[in-house]
Amino acid sequence: MLKLPGLIDPHVHFREPGATHKEDWNTGTSAALAGGFTMVLAMPNTTPPIFDAETLNLALTAAKQKARCDYGQYVGAGPDNAVVGTDGRPLLHEIAHRTAGLKMYLDMTYGELRLDDMTLWAPHFQNWPKEMPLVVHSESRSMAAAILFAAIYDRSVHIAHISLKEEVLLIKAAKEKGIKVTCEVCPHHLFLTSAAPIFEENGGGLGRGRMEVRPRLATQKDLDTLWKNLDVIDCFATDHAPHTIEEKDSDNPPPGFPGLESALPLLLTAVDLRRLTLDDLIHKMHINPKKIFHLPDQPETWIEVDEDATYEIKASEQFTRCGWTPFEGWKVKGKVRKVVLRGETAFEDGKILVEAGYGKNIRK
């Protein structure tokens, strides 16, 4: 049995408020525990989006009642919420310390929170407290622009879900110049390419809707370059983005994959194949996210993994409400047996053992 620290996922979507038929704080945090995660940071592209005190309270109230693991909630950068208020202070300052960080959507993705125009970026880079995390969804050239903004305003920026060769190489160069940039990569961008025959082979629906994800799945060359530059990548994040099978197989499929319950087994299988070390995994799933996002200690918290258990990933065994996984039928090695969170056994042999509401907000 392998004992690891509680894993931290800095990028999940729980759909509450607004779309709890896809996921809610209860099913999302149950999926987290089953996947070995004891702390998750939730994105703000809900309905309504989380962008001010009132909407932040909506999400935090639901989380307080329903979360089973520890959590933080991001706030979203909108076109006018960085504007200076009547007392001279930027509006988001009032709530910054209660959030996981600020999320800026600089490219097209799921939800309404997009900042089209670079004049809307500047006030956020300028005003968001420097000691608080700032995360961007940015792809390709907008990622280069985001790194330039971080350099100009002399602050840190964390790039979500990188997927391309050009992205990892640029981040490497920016780090070498001393720019305060960090990044994460998702398992699906390390294991799946746009060719992805696996979707058809495993009954992945008639259309190509299940493949839709932002950033899109990339080429084998991109994937190889990510693996070759793992030292540039600070964190593994799931970007757990549940949408139901019906929605994925519809004429207008929303982008996103569930990921909380498949990430650790996929990555442990890669450790078994010597594609990365266990030490890499612990850094990218616990030590680095803890440091980058200024997360608190979780005393008496660990997970126990049977590193020799081999099995197939099956959507029917998952806690996520979305009912599917892009890794259906994949053979993996390494199974989470037990999760201990703050002294309580929270998960053991397939069962969630802590109540809804046991999870704590990491910013209080």
For ligand NCD, what does the binding mask look like between residues 11 and 30, x meaning CB under 6 A?
--x-----------------
Contact between 110 and ligand NCD per CB under 6 A:
yes
Stretch of 24-32, 68-76, 108-116, 334-342 lying at the interface with ligand NCD (CB under 6 A): 108-116
In the block, tokens 């299988």 appear at 269
Contact 170, 143 (CB under 8 A): yes
- Among ligand NCD, Zn ion, none, what does residue 110 contact (CB within 5–8 Å per kind)? ligand NCD
- Among Zn ion, ligand NCD, none, what does residue 68 contact (CB within 5–8 Å per kind)? none
Size of the site for ligand NCD (CB under 6 A): 13
Q: Which residues of 203-212 are buried (b: 16+ CB within 10 A; e: fewer)?
A: ebbeeebbbb
Q: Which helix (H) or strand (E) holds 31?
A: helix 25-34
Which residues 123-152 are close enough to bind ligand NCD by CB under 6 A? 137
- Among ligand NCD, Zn ion, none, what does residue 45 contact (CB within 5–8 Å per kind)? ligand NCD
Q: DSSP 3-state helix, strand, coil percentages of the chain (rounded to 5)?
A: 35, 20, 45
Angstrom distance (rounded) from CA 336 to CA 50:
32
* CA end-to-end span of the chain: 34
Q: Name the minimum Å distance from CB 186 to ligand NCD.
A: 8
Q: Name the minimum Å distance from CB 305 to ligand NCD.
A: 27
Q: Which residues of 332-344 are buried (b: 16+ CB within 10 A; e: fewer)?
A: bbbbbbbbbbbee
Name the residue number minimizing CB distance to Zn ion. 137
Contact 262, 313 (CB under 8 A): yes
For ligand NCD, what does the binding mask look like between residues 234 and 273, x meaning CB under 6 A?
-----x-x------------xxx-----------------
The one-character DSSP state at 90 is B
Contact between 214 and ligand NCD per CB under 6 A:
yes
Residue ranges in contact with ligand NCD by CB under 6 A? 13, 45, 109-111, 137, 213-214, 239, 241, 254-256
